[in-house]
Amino acid sequence: MGDLNAKVGSKRKGWHREIGPNGIGKINDKLVIGGTLFKHKNCHKVTWVSPAGNAENQIDHITISQRWRSSLQDVRIKRGADAASDHHLVIGSIKMKLLAQKKLVVKRRKFNVGKLKIPNIREVFQISLQNRFSAISDLVIEENDINNTWEQTKNVILETCEETLGYMQYKHKNWMSDNTWVKVEERRIAKEKVLNATTRQQKRQTQDLYIEKDKEVKKNCKKDKRNYVEQLAQEAEITCSKGDMKYLYNTTKQLSGRRSNSHATVKEKNGNVITKIEEQLKRWKYHFEEVLNRPPLTDPPNIEGRQVLNIKTGDITKTKVNTSIK
């Protein structure tokens, strides 16, 4: 007996001796008996042995829906299970693929700090920040409460940035002008006319219109891209003269259109890829030893008036590395 949720119904064609005429519903014939699917020895399929030992049968089963039949890997009995019963333990192996739950990644929002280069916005930002700090300075703050002070300071700066500067707006292909987007919409409408054309003449006319709109879009895109690159180059030149290295780096990155590959593979001398971290570190160590530890020149050039540099060639320690980085 088991809770199989099986329905027998009233139709009993081919089952006249097993099913009576007074059932309800529709017979549920979508169940699969797992013990009959896999090839095993009879001793691993027999689920019951009579007390006298002269009769045995397979009367205990694991049933599964046909939908999950491929998930059932194996069904067999375990005769060694001490269950104090004349029935053997039936075990089934099931392998299921569960849908992975995607983690919600909260994208970091950045303030549009580029607006601070505009004089009037920078002045409004400074005045608003000063007013907010003067307001919280009048409040009574507990002595040595550094956490409370930090929270108030952080909230003042965030509220001022959100009110004055706003957040960065990320747009797809922001170098395209409004006129180009109008042309793109006209091309999309022309494409719909091509798809909805019924006669050959309409098809030919709409196709010619679509080709013309497509040429206009490509022409405008080339013009906008050229103007965008020239504008970035001018801004990079101006920021370089002002010493704004951060903006210059970002502009150069946009112009080059290249991204650094931080997942480059490390290979041995024979070309085999190294996957373990420890072996990769050893390979880097050997590489730098070969590159940096070169023998001195046998015949160094004689340069008159050269300055002799006092270079320390001892071992490099972690303290020296940290000091150099800072």
Count CB-CB contacts under 10 A for residue 45.
Answer: 19
**Low pLDDT (below 70) residues in the chain:** 1-10, 12, 15-20, 22-29, 82-84, 138-144, 169-172, 257-264, 306, 326
Which runs of E-coded beta strand occur in the chain?
Answer: 31-33, 48-49, 56-57, 63-65, 72-78, 89-94, 266-267, 273-274
Give dist(CA 137, CA 317) in Å, integer: 46
- pLDDT for the residue numbered 175: 80
| Percent above pLDDT 70 for the chain | 83
109-146 per-position pLDDT tens digit: 888 887 787 788 888 888 988 888 887 776 545 555 77
Please answer whether residues 274 and 266 qualify as being in contact, where contact means their C-beta atoms are separated by less than 8 angstroms.
Answer: yes
| pTM for the predicted model, two decimal places | 0.34
- pLDDT for the residue numbered 109: 81
Q: Residue 79 in 3-state DSSP?
A: coil
Euclidean distance between the first and final Cα of the chain, in Å? 75
